[in-house]
Chain A
Amino acid sequence: DVKVTQSSRYLVKRTGEKVFLECVQDMDHENMFWYRQDPGLGLRLIYFSYDVKMKEKGDIPEGYSVSREKKERFSLILESASTNQTSMYLCASSFGLAGIYEQYFGPGTRLTVT
């Protein structure tokens, strides 16, 4: 079974802090994704990576950066956390051509910025 794990289930940070969210997948998937999910807005893509050190901006990349140094690990960085980044963050992975095949999601990190 594919397993996608995220470093924290719940996180509370202060405004201005630098925040790291880690995601690891164990199925050698090429593609990894970071989404945020907010009520009424659905899942919105923040960043996507299709290979090590490769990344593409999604719909809402402002205020975020990512790092993919190893194939199995994809990190989301909030450079200076703000209250409007309070959200559920979901990592996903998939193989092959992105968007064609199933995405496997991690359990999510609920981030609160105070």
Chain B
Amino acid sequence: RKEVEQDPGPFNVPEGATVAFNCTYSNSASQSFFWYRQDCRKEPKLLMSVYSSGNEDGRFTAQLNRASQYISLLIRDSKLSDSATYLCVVNIRSSASKIIFGSGTRLSIRP
């Protein structure tokens, strides 16, 4: 079983739709959680950190469920510019060697 798993997609949704991704992790000692966004042929960039209480940034909401060991990303009122690959990142025990990236979920927003 992979340490961090994501549905690779692609998710193909119409503009204005709400879309949600989940990311599961296997190590209960995981401490820090992030969502990164990667556009085609570009480098990953931080979208948002994920806090235990959940957090929201505009149209984006991130949640952490420690009991079930997953994090989620919800995008409301999706825009064409949201088309990208979304990477889930989990850090275990604050050690650099245990920063684990998921393979990413590809999202495509259609007009």
A residues contacting B by CB (< 8 A) are 31, 33, 35, 40-45, 48, 50, 56-59, 90, 97-100, 102-103, 105-108
Given the complex of chains A and B, what is the CA–CA distance between A40 and B6 in angstroms?
11
B residues contacting A by CB (< 8 A) are 8, 31-32, 34, 42-46, 49, 87, 91-92, 94-99, 101-104
Chain B residues whose C-beta falls within 8 Å of the C-beta of A50 in the assembled complex: 96
Which 6 pairs from chain A and chain B are nearest by CB? A99-B91, A105-B43, A98-B96, A42-B103, A43-B101, A48-B96
Chain B residues whose C-beta falls within 8 Å of the C-beta of A31 in the assembled complex: 96
Within the complex, which residue of B91, B96, B98, B103 is in contact with A41, where a contact is CB–CB below 8 Å? B103
15 contacts between A and B (CB under 8 A): A31-B96, A35-B101, A42-B104, A43-B101, A45-B97, A45-B99, A58-B96, A59-B97, A90-B43, A98-B96, A99-B32, A100-B31, A103-B44, A106-B43, A108-B43
Given that A45-B96, A48-B96, A50-B96 are contacting pairs, would A102 and B34 also be in contact in the complex, using a CB cutoff of 8 Å? Answer: yes
Q: Does B96 lie within 8 Å of A99, measured CB to CB?
A: yes
Given the complex of chains A and B, what is the CA–CA distance between A59 and B99 in angstroms?
10
Q: Does B32 lie within 8 Å of A48, measured CB to CB?
A: no
Given the complex of chains A and B, what is the CA–CA distance between A97 and B8 in angstroms?
30
Given the complex of chains A and B, what is the CA–CA distance between A2 and B33 in angstroms?
21
Given the complex of chains A and B, what is the CA–CA distance between A8 and B34 in angstroms?
28
Q: Does B97 lie within 8 Å of A48, measured CB to CB?
A: yes
Chain B residues whose C-beta falls within 8 Å of the C-beta of A48 in the assembled complex: 96-97
